[in-house]
Amino acid sequence: MGARLRTGTKALFAAALALDVGAAAVGQAKDAAPVTPEALSAHVKILASDDFQGRKPGTVGEEKTIAYIQDQFKKIGLKPAAGGAKGYLQDVPMTEITSKADGPMVFTATGKDGQAKSLSYEYFSQMIVWNRQRTTHAEVKDSDLVFVGYGITAPEFGWDDYAGVDVKGKTVVILVNDPGFATGDPALFGGGAMTWYGRWPYKYEEAARHGAAAAIIVHETRAAGYPWGVVANSNSVPKLTLMPADGGLQSRSAVEGWVQLDVAKELFAAAGLDYGTLKDSAARRGFKAVPMNARMSVGITPVVRDVVSHNVVGIVPGAKRPDEVVLVGAHWDHLGVGPAVNGDTIYNGALDNATGIAGLIEMAKRYMHGPRPDRTLMFIAYTAEEQGLLGSEYYAQHPLYPVGKTVAGFNMDGLGVLGPVHDVVLVGGKKSDLEERLKAWTDAHGMVVNPEPFPERGYYYRSDHFNLAKVGIPVIDAGMGIDSVEHGAEWGKAKEEEYTRLHYHQPSDEWSPAMDLRGGAVQVNMWYDISRDLASSDAWPKWYDKAEFKAARDKSQGK
């Protein structure tokens, strides 16, 4: 999950409870009781309890979590979608790699005076590294460093940071985010909004495509969208990756990792370079990669094991066109057990994303208590979102219904927990006409749709809907905004920033009786209304012409 703190609106919640909130406009079933905050809280309290051990895939936490979701689906009356003896489960084969540096990361840099200087940095506090190959040992030894700016090859933007440089067998040093963020120039990438090219998974993949032995990203809090503690905690635990069909995992660089900003500045200075000057240069067209006159050594001893995790999938079969599917998803996983923070080692993931699973269950229940929709509703609880959106990636590659017959997708990654607001925040934006359905809903309820308050964080590329979009399925992710009815917009923004700084991917993301899920109930009822309207129609949402996913949709539908 991106560190989004969901909130909700008092007026909307009251209207939802009254069951007359624009039913004619959105096709709401009058005999289907709306989702309540109490029902959501009951699920979150269980799923985010210490007994579930942080819901890490491949652990006892997964066993308890998927058993709970299956039991709820069965009680509700959802039909299994996975087929055969597996019932509600879709197997997701993965490989788990536990990595830790064998010792410090050591650099040898030669400055302008011709003198070599040795620099050493400690694991976790100053740097974090891992390996994603099936091997018993990985290392780079005296590997030449090359600064490749933002590490982007994007022909459609006329941008190639790797042009004219051979990085095979070398270590590339990369900036996080993209040139549009750095300059705010709307003509560069997404302007102030992060594109896929700004995300760390892309940067590691691109480095590997160019043959780099190691890829190291420089951490800056604002550019990354989260503080160093998130990077260190998320990457110091065992990491999962999808198992390729051939069983191999050799397509990644031997070493991937991050370093703190102060480390990068010291390293550049030791090599006779100025970090700030080169960073500015990297955001301008015509940037050329810079050999750094420095070398890196670091070793990793991975422990590898194969894991079969699971997506949990249930359906409400359509009454008239059961082969056409409207998909609603949320990820069930979190980080499991990790480094102690204030003596607590269990990363419970209450907001992220026990709330989303609670919403999925309660929304499915509401469908089962109302008239059957014309189209099939699929409810899918994805595994391994926190490991790189793996469950949704696997589903997109192995769909249970044809992609071309999947009408649209809705994503719930964090529900409202702070109380009433005036606005709905759309993640991404200017993608598909699903946004028009959202706007019609908010107009009917006296609300407004606002863009993301932190577009530089790239939330559109940080949750499961992205993998559905990549194969062409029109998807939307939106939540209650930050313009608090009771405290104002600045208070809401401060609370979101506080969550990112103190609780996102930390053991303190826990359930408490003070968790105000009124907004979460509104959010779930909003998606119920919009999805039911779509599932009761013959409409096919469309990507806008300039959306990067339109071509994939056209291909999936034989156009």
pLDDT at 3: 55
Q: Bridge-partner residues for 79, per DSSP?
A: 315
Rounded CA separation 413/475 (Å): 13
Query: Domain spans of the chain?
Result: 10-94+306-556, 100-301
Nearest to 69 by CA among 327, 424, 353: 353
Q: Which two tokens stand for residue 227?
A: 């503080």
Q: Does residue 482 surpass a pLDDT of 80?
A: yes
Instruction: Give the pLDDT band (50/70/90) at residue 247.
Output: low
Instruction: Give the pLDDT band (50/70/90) at residue 246.
Output: low
CB 397 within 8 A of CB 461: no
Residue 388, amino acid? G
pLDDT at 299: 98
pLDDT at 84: 58
Q: Which two tokens stand for residue 358?
A: 């609670």
Q: Is 237 helix (H, G, I), strand (E, B) or coil?
A: coil
pTM confidence score? 0.85
Cβ neighbours around 184 below 10 Å, total: 11
Q: Which two tokens stand for residue 349?
A: 């993931």
Rounded CA separation 81/59 (Å): 24
Average pLDDT for residues 50-70, to the nearest whole number? 98
pLDDT at 419: 84
Q: Which fold has domain 10-94+306-556?
A: Aminopeptidase (3.40.630)
pLDDT at 11: 37
Q: Bridge-partner residues for 174, per DSSP?
A: 217
Q: For 385, phi and psi rounded to 5 degrees?
A: -65, -40
Task: Please list the alpha-helical segments (H only) found in 77-161.
Answer: none
Average pLDDT for residues 543-549, to the nearest whole number? 89
Edge-to-edge strands, sheet with 478-480: 448-451, 423-426, 478-480
CB 423 within 8 A of CB 448: yes
Q: Bridge-partner residues for 306, per DSSP?
A: 95
Give 281-340 pLDDT, tens digit per residue: 999 999 999 999 999 999 999 999 999 999 999 999 999 999 999 999 999 999 999 999
Chain center to CA of 455: 14
Q: For 153, phi and psi rounded to 5 degrees?
A: -120, 105
pLDDT at 260: 99
Q: Which two tokens stand for residue 90?
A: 């879709």
Share of the chain above pLDDT 90, in %: 79
Q: Does residue 472 surpass a pLDDT of 80?
A: yes
Residues 33, 34, 35: CA angle, nearest 5 degrees: 125
Instruction: Give the pLDDT band (50/70/90) at residue 38.
Output: very high
Q: What is the mean pLDDT of the chain?
A: 91
Domain 100-301 class in CATH: alpha beta
Give 401-457 pLDDT, tens digit per residue: 999 999 999 999 999 888 888 999 999 888 999 999 999 999 998 889 999 878 888
Rounded CA separation 237/255 (Å): 16
> Which helix or strand (DSSP H or E) is residue 270 part of?
helix 261-270
Q: Is 366 helix (H, G, I), strand (E, B) or coil?
A: helix
Average pLDDT for residues 184-208, to the nearest whole number? 93
